[in-house]
């Protein structure tokens, strides 16, 4: 497995884990990735049927990024930026950035006597729907407030405010 595929696989699994903890389901969309959607997060009704709330997300991972005490800076490919930016999609979209520890040995710790795992990662979310078009041709730097941590509470809030009423 290439290092980038390794990071991508771990990041997708991490997002799915956070969603499961919050009581939501995250799965791959059908067909090839043509519009920068890696996962669809959705609520599940009481009998297992799809609920009302859905959110499409692009998941990016990195072991290197610029950050300050207030923001994370991530260089997002223009194609992804433009795909996530329009506010006219039926299902809202968000960018998730998973920052992994530089050393792959720190990415996951499993404890033998506890039902607990610890990911060596921090993760953030960003709504690009109202961002302006840019003239860049390769990447654009996205500033994500460090307060926008992607955790179980954030998933619930995002699906309630952006994806419908779960």
What per-residue confidence (pLDDT) applies to 16? 93
pLDDT for the residue numbered 31: 87
Ordered by where they begin, the domains of the chain are 3-161 (3.40.1350)
Residue 166, pLDDT score: 44
pLDDT the model gives residue 130: 83
d(CA 71, CA 94): 17
> Can you tell me the distance from the alpha carbon of 86 to that of 128, in angstroms, rounded to the nearest whole number?
8
pLDDT at 48: 56
C-alpha neighbours within 13 Å on the C-beta side of residue 107: 19
Judged by DSSP in three states, 44 sits in: strand
How high is the pLDDT of residue 46?
66
Query: Which residues does the chain have with pLDDT short of 70?
Result: 46-51, 106, 111-121, 162-166
pTM of the model: 0.86
Return the pLDDT at 117.
53
């Amino acid at each position: 497995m290439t290092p980038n595929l390794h990071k991508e696989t771990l990041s997708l699994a991490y997002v799915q884990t956070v969603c499961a903890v919050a009581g939501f389901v995250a799965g791959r969309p059908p067909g090839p990735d043509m519009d920068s959607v890696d996962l669809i997060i959705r609520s599940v009704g009481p009998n297992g049927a799809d609920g009302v709330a859905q959110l499409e997300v692009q998941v990016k991972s990195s072991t290197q990024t610029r950050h300050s005490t207030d923001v994370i800076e991530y260089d997002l490919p223009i194609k992804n930026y433009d795909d996530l930016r329009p506010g006219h999609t039926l299902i809202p979209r968000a960018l998730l950035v998973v920052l992994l520890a530089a050393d792959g040995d720190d990415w996951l710790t499993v404890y033998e006597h506890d039902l607990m795992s610890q990911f060596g990662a921090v993760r953030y979310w960003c709504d690009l729907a109202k961002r302006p078009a840019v003239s860049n041709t390769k990447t654009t730097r996205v500033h994500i407030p460090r307060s926008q941590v992607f955790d179980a509470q954030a998933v619930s809030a995002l699906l309630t405010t952006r994806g419908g009423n779960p």
